Amino acid sequence: MPIVDFGLLLFIAPALILSFIAQIWIKAAYARGSQVPARMSGYAAARKMLDAAGLHHVGIEETPGHLSDHYDPRDKVLRLSPEVYHNRSLASVGIAAHEAGHALQDAKNYLPLVVRNLAVPAASFGSNMGMILLVLGLIFSIQWLMLVGIVLFSAVVFFQVVNLPVEFNASTRAKTQLVELGIVDPQEMSYVRSVLTAAALTYVAATLQAILTLLYYVMHFNNRRD
């Protein structure tokens, strides 16, 4: 069997195409939004959102990388990439606000976020070990290996599905707070919405890819049982 499973690539092609479109969209949206000045930097916007919610204890740090922005629920800190942290643009403000939205979720014990955080270890293990067992089981026609791989990779699908409402909700919170706190004017929100919608599409593509990958191996498992 070839190292590259072309059958799998063909099966998940819709997700790959969607991911490609999302990447083009987010680069274009970020480039446009980066050209439009904002009242404050990404750091200042996130700090204002957090302070308005009483989350003075949540820190904001600069982290290396391009668009490496994320919220760490364990350390209660937002980590923003250099361009988002420092730049005074609508793109930077939108991304920083989205990450602040995750901190607001954490403070409110938003259930999908709680479930997602609990699923992280299983999803991380399932992503690596699950795929190894699936491929080995398929190559050597070992049914029980494929079954274990399917179970492990199911954790990845579960994580991706739960992650969708988390990401969409964080963006909704961000857009609401940006207007309510006067960080962004309503007429400027189109730039922010474009960046956040494109980012959301990448999560949809990742979820679709995980689901199709699991279905591909489940079909192989069932066919070999027959």
Residues acting as catalytic residues: 99
Query: Would you say the C-alpha torsion 157, 158, 161, 167 has a positive or negative sign?
Result: negative
Contact 18, 71 (CB under 8 A): no
Residue in the block written with tokens 């207007």: 179
Say how far apart CA 34 and CA 53 lie, in whole Å.
27
| Token representation of residue 177 | 């707070």
One-letter-per-residue 3-state SS of 64-130:
CCCCCCEEECCCCEEEECHHHHHCCEHHHHHHHHHHHHHHHHHHCCCHHHHHHHHHHHHHHHHHHHH
Contact 176, 196 (CB under 8 A): no
